[in-house]
Amino acid sequence: MRTLKPQDARRIEALIGRMTLTEKLGQLTMMAASHTVTGPVITGHSVDDIRRGRIGNLLNLIGAAAAREMQRVAVEESRLGLPLMIGLDVIHGHRTLFPPPLAEAALFDPQAWALTAREAAREAAADGISMTFAPMLDVSRDPRWGRTIEGPGESAWVGERLAQAKVRGFQGTDLAAAESIAAVAKHFCAYGAVTAGREYASVDVSDRALLEVHVPPFAAAVSSGVAAVMPAFTDLAGIPMTAHGAMLRGRLRRQLGFEGVLVSDYNAVAELIQHGVAADLVEAAALALAAGIDIDMVSGAYLQGLPVALERGLVTLAQIDESVRRVLALKARLGLFEDPYRRGASAESAAAVAGRRRLARDVAARSIVLLTNREGALPLSTDIHRLALIGPLADAAAEMRGPWWSAADPEAQISVLTGIRAALPQAQIFHASGVEIVGADESGIAAALELCDEAQAVVLCLGEGATMSGEAASRAHPQLPGRQQELAEAVLRRAGARSIPVIAVLFCGRPLIVPWLAERASALLAAWFPGCEAGHAVADILTGRASPSGRTPITWPRAVGQIPLYFEQRSGGRPTDSGNTFSSRYIDESTEPLFHFGHGLTYGHFNLSCLRVTPESANPSDTVQIRVDVENQGERRAQETVFLFTHRLKSRVAPPLLELRGVGKITLDPGTRGTVTLLLPVMELQSLGPDLEPTLEPGAIEILVGPSAARASLLTGRLEIVT
């Protein structure tokens, strides 16, 4: 993080010497305006609290004029004139929505991740926002958990790179610049491992899982200079993260070197009472401050509880001043003292907004994953002239936003119907929803089926509504909701009778359990929630204007009973694939996923060959070069993504079956070939020994390269580590 200017450090110390206790606690308080609701609405505060220095930070305030007015009250009407930090959940765009993080992860492209964050920061800053509660870095291997959509998917390796890219994008190279905003890495830590995928449930993972999977993305955010971190609502092995001194002051600050601000999650300080570790707001506030929480979001526990906690000797004034110092230092780094009105001072040009929407369309198309494509059903023939568009997500513009839509206008989203009509102006597009997203009414199916009788192809738009994933949206049955399966099966039968293709497009915030659909549809795509340009992006892929390149960043289970299912599993002593009765398996289900991590088809046909590993014997200071030849044997130009995995053959700690070490991409015209080169520094092959300390063991390592984590698809080489 950029160091504090000496004059700012002096200003802060002088301020602390002048501030009353209430003014100090005001700087440690963030209250919610009501322009959007992201948790239980807490009342009892007002603009006058800003005037009296009792509120020093706001969230959920939308609009440059509103932000400017609140800033004016703070700066011009309060005793010390301390500027506000104004935060919002700009998770995947502000007014212009990009795909949510899980969908963006499907690009496997850190440059794109940084670019969308930069654009989101510009747009949010133009509205007076100075902090976003993003990136969300919770690794998740459980599609039942609704917040899987907000994070990097199942891989810590992806999480680390998403963290670096997003922090860079949001904060830019100058945090004080008008278009830069403070990033908040959340939710520290292991929130993605909630019990049974149930929202806010307890988390109890091993120290090894914590250090191998859940901490690394946050370590990457810290090393990238993230301005703030938000602890998770959840308890970790019984200790609520909001009061977890060992993880916050120990692991995060001392071991990872985090010097920024810790902002609690929404009302989380007060909820220490519900956790059962605090009798009242006084104890809750004392526990949170002692653990290192600097800003109390919304609960008012710091304002109400800390004065009493101070009297009772539960906290010290020095602890309060330490937090005030960090908050004022962040405001100084944001340039809020120099010019509190810098953000929101000027509206963006129409050209800037138009350029942002073009980027949104491109990123959305690249996030779409082509899961199946039988007999080349896709891309649709460009001279198609009768197309049936069926399903509750076909004309559902607002649903395309996904669960964290920030300030995006629902009317500004492009539906699939609009996109398809624009892409195929000569064609007759017959549209029917058939059924609702949820609900038991099947009366619309008959009319939808009649459209199949007129059409040359059917596009089914199915899946979840925007609020069926995200926060407080865990699902015990993560499959198609409502009567969508009944609709789809009826359409598949009707269309099948006429031998016309059925293309199924899933809009979802998680892998859905749809083996029957994967088996029967002519083609199946995961479009996730494509954002404001959804309809154009989907049409671009279906018509071949864009060639699908997305790869799923999370394994798609075949059954809920397989969860958690992920590629970094360990072998166990009776491996799944040993084939005998006494092996790790189910008697009623396969152990194979529906789709492996990294799976995604293209409109090309790629063949990988000739894997070269040089040197084949390497020492710790070496960087190994891995090359593989790629040929496009198809008829269309396309981009192939190549994954580099390793598998240590023996280690003092049972090694994962696969570990992701790199990703390469190559775009090839039909009939051409190229070479993908991946570089692997040997030191990246360190692992955590039995003592959980990093170690580089000598020995043999398999090098595996291929289009996904499906082992059968991987070319294998060997590397010997000599130390």
Residue type, 462: L
- The identity of residue 326, as a single letter, is R
Which CB, 475 or 596, lies closer to ligand GLC?
A: 475
- Write out the two tokens for 248: 């916050």
Least distance to ligand GLC, CB of residue 192, Å: 13
Instruction: Convert residues 228-267 into a mask of x (bound to ligand GLC by CB under 6 A) and - (unbound).
Output: -------------------------------------xx-
Number of residues assigned to the chain: 723
Site size for ligand GLC, by CB under 6 A?
Answer: 9
Q: Are 638 and 671 in contact (CB under 8 A)?
A: no
Select 472 or 610, whichever has its Cβ closest to ligand GLC: 472
The nearer residue to ligand GLC, 60 or 224, going by C-beta atoms, is: 60
Q: Of residues 43-82, which lie at the interface with ligand GLC (CB under 6 A)?
A: 59
Active site residues: 265
Which residues, 6 or more positions from 425, have their beta carbon under 8 angstroms from its beta carbon? none
Cβ distance to ligand GLC smaller for residue 89 or 568: 89
Alpha carbon distance 659, 290 (integer Å): 38
- Say how far apart CA 195 and CA 309 lie, in whole Å: 33
The CB-of-71 to ligand GLC minimum distance in angstroms stands at: 20
Which pair of tokens denotes residue 680? 């692997």
| Distance in Å, CB of 703 to ligand GLC, minimum | 38
Give me the 396-425 binding string for ligand GLC, x by CB under 6 A, dash otherwise: ------------------------------
Nearer to ligand GLC, 199 or 540 (CB): 199
Q: Which lies closer to ligand GLC via its Cβ, residue 39 or residue 250?
A: 39
186 near ligand GLC (CB under 6 A):
yes
Closest CA to 141 of 243, 213, 249: 213
- Dihedral (Cα; 275, 278, 279, 284), 10-degree rounding: -120
H-only helix segments in 374-471:
416-423, 445-454
Residue closer to ligand GLC (CB basis): 166 or 520: 166
Of the candidates 217, 190, 195, 203, the one whose C-alpha atom is nearest the C-alpha of residue 134 is 217
Among 11, 39, 544, 696, binds ligand GLC (CB under 6 A): 39
Q: How far is the CB of 37 from ligand GLC (least distance, A)?
A: 9
Q: Residue written as tokens 């949170």? A: 288
Give the DSSP letter string of 33-50: -SSS--SS---S--HHHH
Check if the beta carbon of residue 375 is closer than 8 Å to that of residue 522: yes
- In the stretch 424-463, what mask flags binding to ligand GLC with x, by CB under 6 A? ----------------------------------------
User: Based on CB atoms, which residue is closest to ligand GLC, 130 or 547?
Assistant: 130
CB of 39 to ligand GLC, least distance (A): 4
- Check binding of 133 to ligand GLC (CB under 6 A): yes
Q: Is 38 in the site for ligand GLC (CB under 6 A)?
A: yes
β-bridge partners, 554:
none
- Give bridge partners of residue 614 from the DSSP assignment: 625
Residue 137 Cβ vs ligand GLC, minimum distance, rounded to whole Å: 11
Q: Which is nearer to ligand GLC, 246 or 472 (CB)?
A: 472
What is the DSSP track for 46-104?
-HHHHHTTS--EEES--SHHHHHHHHHHHHHHSSS-PPPEEEE--SSBSSSBPPPHHHH
Which helix (H) or strand (E) segment holds residue 716: the answer is strand 715-721
Q: Torsion over CA of 287, 291, 292 and 295, rounded to 10 degrees?
A: -40
Near ligand GLC by CB under 6 A: residue from 23, 49, 89, 212:
89
Query: Rounded to the nearest whole angstrom, what is the least distance from the CB of residue 495 to ligand GLC in the complex?
Result: 42
Q: Please, are residues 606 and 551 in contact by the beta-carbon 8 Å criterion?
A: no
Examine residue 94 and tell whether it contacts ligand GLC (CB under 6 A).
no
CA atoms within 13 A on the CB side of 101: 32
**For ligand GLC, which is the closer residue by CB, 89 or 127?**
89
CB of 133 to ligand GLC, least distance (A): 3
Q: Is 567 in the site for ligand GLC (CB under 6 A)?
A: no
Taking the complex as a whole, how short is the minimal distance between the CB of residue 618 and ligand GLC, in angstroms?
Answer: 42
Q: How far is the CB of 106 from ligand GLC (least distance, A)?
A: 22
Helix (H) or strand (E) holding 163: helix 156-171
Classify each residue of 584-623 as buried b or exposed e, where b means 16 or more C-beta atoms within 10 Å of its C-beta.
ebeeeeeeebbbbbbbbbbbbbbebeebebeeeebeeebe
647 binds ligand GLC (CB under 6 A): no
Residue whose pair of structure tokens reads 């018509």 in the numeric block: 543
- Burial class of residue 650, CB neighbours in 10 A (0-12, 13-18, 19+): exposed
Min dist. Cβ of residue 135 to ligand GLC (A): 11
Stretch 457-476: interaction string toward ligand GLC, x if CB under 6 A:
--------------x-----
Measured N-to-C along each axis, helices 317-333 and 301-311 cross at an angle, to the nearest 10 degrees, of 150
Compute the Cα dihedral for 599, 604, 605, 607 and give only its sign.
negative
Residue 59 or 221 having the CB closest to ligand GLC? 59
Interface ranges with ligand GLC (CB under 6 A): 38-39, 59, 89, 133, 186, 265-266, 471
